[in-house]
Chains A and B, each alone.
Chain A
Amino acid sequence: MDLINPTVVDLSRFQFALTALYHFMFVPLTLGLTFMLAAMETVYVVTGKQVYKDMTLFWGKLFGINFALGVATGLTMEFEFGTNWSMYSRFFGDMFGTPLAIEGLMAFFMESTFIGLMFFGWDRLSKPGHLAVTYLVALGSNLSALWILVANASMNMPNGAHFDPETLRMTFDSFVGVVFNPDAQAKFVHTSVAGYVAASLFVMGISAFYLLRKQHRDFAARSFRMAALFGIFSTVAVITLGDVLGRLDYEHQPTKIAAMEGLWHTSKPPYEPWIIAALPNDAKQESSFEIGVPFVLTPLITHSFSMPITGMIELEDAAAPRIASGITAVSALRRYEENHQAADLEEFRAHQDDMGYGLLASRHAPGQDVTAIAPEQLQSVIEQTKPDILPNVFVTFWSFRLMVFLGVFFFVLFAMASYLSLKNQLERNPLFLKLCMWSIPLPVLATEFGWITAEAGRQPWTVFDRLPTFMSASTHSVSYMLFSLAGFTVLYSIFIAVELYLMFKFARLGPEAHGPHEDADPAHLSVVAH
């Protein structure tokens, strides 16, 4: 069997990464801003103060711009699985398609229906009725994320499915197993709450801009206060769930956690340092420069002081028997496909857990066919396949580091913002307000780095331990891939430009008064300038 052109696989990966990274510039703000709007409107309904309605309307307008462009960039990705990843879709479609269908039919329709009511229902619904609609929009947008992340988690930790040798596909076993997959749970909460952080800093940054310019001060100080408190608790939750995900990777994806930590050799507990900075060299399998904090890595990853973390070189060695067993599994499966002999099926079943490693070895087999491997060639094929089990260490290591550094920065920033806001000392600290303003894009960057960590760290698999990435793409031509890649790059860059133009325009215009409100009274400004 001829494998797919590696250039096409690389271009398919690059195109998916590009479209996903573009799409994810919009998603976090949608996830977080909806719940922040709900918080603002809750105060409006409880207190009846017009300023909170103004806040909901103004931030809601910015949310609307972001939502429209986010939907436009997300739609193409659902089709991309079929067009560019048809082998993957065939192998894993039963598993992957179910959450995607639910996302489209339930969450997205719910979100889109109620968003109309949220924008146009202010004069048509009662106050509690409109508040309920705002909460439903927030729930809908986060449920959309839930189903996408359930689908993604099934690629990282395939739960609730098994491989069927009759159909050569993964078959769906348990809906509960898929939905309550531990990876899905942790990933959903981590991603959703990362969106809260992005929304908090977005609101805080624009409010800081108004405070610096002495514009809309009452509106801005209130928005800043709510965003700062929203942000500090969200940041704590993001860090907590990041720790949970790290622990899950330690248990289920040891190659990813070893790459994230730049750990070439098995750790020596409890001394092993947590590496702050290093230059991992994938070719030489070593890091040329390391700065670390001792005694941190073991408790951080294993939640103990004695458990070791297996290094990448040891993981490579440990993969050798699985590669040999996988070659046996794939060979038995091929024979069973042709002859349907019970003995072949039995042999396959004895080795089926390692089938993915046999598929991984096919790249190095004569004629790319593992059944053609002669006994004297077996060891050579295994040795060539071993390094393939590792992801790109440099990318995984640094994307993880950048996400973590930004997470720590957000914690400090929100803690200071909450303190200064509660003490009403914001306007005495213009430098801090400027820092908040310039930090607006950072949470989006952090979520992008998080996504790169998760997806680059999963390599060389599309479905972890089951299906290698190089066997998952469609058999397109290189020119087709280059053309569609260029098209997406241009189109999505236009979307980003439109988003930035509209956001800057409406943020500069500022909140419009949607009716008389008592904050025209200068007394209320005293608490800002106090």
Chain B
Amino acid sequence: MITLLRFAGLGLALVVALLFAVFVGDQGPWYFAWVVGTVMIILVAAAGGVLFDAQAEEAVSKGEF
């Protein structure tokens, strides 16, 4: 039951996201670009932090300190 509810909830979120994308993408393309672009910028910055950790671990494993 919980799985079904979770599935239904995610399905609803997907429908809302699609409606948002269609409406805002049509009426306000730059608002839509802001939403997508901001998420992308955050993810790139976060990936930069994770990459830093990976580089640090690689340096440790190679004994470069």
- A residues near B (Cβ < 8 Å) are 35-36, 38-40, 42-43, 46-47, 49, 52, 176, 179-180, 182, 185-186, 188-189, 192-193, 196, 221-222, 225-230, 233-234, 237, 241, 244, 421-422, 424, 522-527, 529-530
Contact = CB atoms under 8 A, between A and B. Distances in A.
A237 B52 contact: no
Interface stretch (B2-10, B12-20, B22-30): B22-30
B1 interface: no
Contacts of A47: 50, 53
Contacts of A39: 41-42, 45-46, 49
Contacts, number: 102
Interface residues of B, number: 28
B31 A43 contact: no
Given A35-B41, A43-B49, A526 B56 contact: yes
Nearest to B32: A185
Interface string B25-65: 00111110110011011101111111111011001100011
Nearest to B26: A180
Contacts of A529: 65
Contacts of A230: 41-42, 44-45
A221 B53 CA distance: 11
Contacts of B53: 47, 49
Nearest to A524: B56
Nearest to A187: B30
B30 A189 contact: yes
B52 A221 contact: yes
Contacts of A179: 28
A526 B65 contact: yes
Grouping DSSP codes into helix (H, G, I), strand (E, B) and loop, the B interface class, with mixed when no group exceeds half, is helix
Contacts of A527: 52, 55-56, 59
B41 A525 contact: no
A232 to B, nearest CB: 9
B52 A189 contact: no
A42 B27 CA distance: 31
B65 A43 contact: no
Contact of B27 (A49, A180, A229): A180
A43 B46 contact: yes
A82 to B, nearest CB: 29
A424 B55 contact: yes
A35 B38 contact: yes
A131 B41 CA distance: 17
Those 6 A-B pairs whose CB atoms lie nearest each other, nearest first: A526-B65, A185-B30, A230-B45, A229-B48, A527-B56, A39-B45
A382 to B, nearest CB: 39
Given A233-B40, A526-B65, A422 B51 contact: yes
B30 A188 contact: yes
A33 B38 CA distance: 12
Contact of B31 (A49, A189, A226): A189
Contact of A229 (B29, B45, B56): B45
Nearest to B33: A189
A530 B45 contact: no
Contacts of B49: 39-40, 43, 52, 222, 225-226
Contact of B45 (A36, A180, A186, A221): A36
Contacts of B47: 229
Contacts of A38: 42
B28 A228 contact: no
20 contacts: A35-B42, A38-B42, A39-B41, A40-B46, A43-B46, A43-B49, A52-B49, A225-B51, A226-B46, A228-B48, A229-B47, A229-B48, A233-B44, A234-B41, A241-B30, A523-B56, A523-B60, A524-B56, A526-B60, A530-B64
Contacts of B59: 523, 526-527, 530
Contacts of B31: 180, 185, 188-189
Contacts of A241: 30
Given A244-B30, A526-B56, A526-B64, A196 B41 contact: yes
Contacts of A530: 59, 64
A49 B46 CA distance: 13
Given A188-B31, A523-B65, 8 more contacts: A39-B41, A179-B28, A180-B28, A182-B30, A221-B52, A233-B37, A526-B59, A526-B64
A525 B65 contact: yes
Contacts of A424: 55
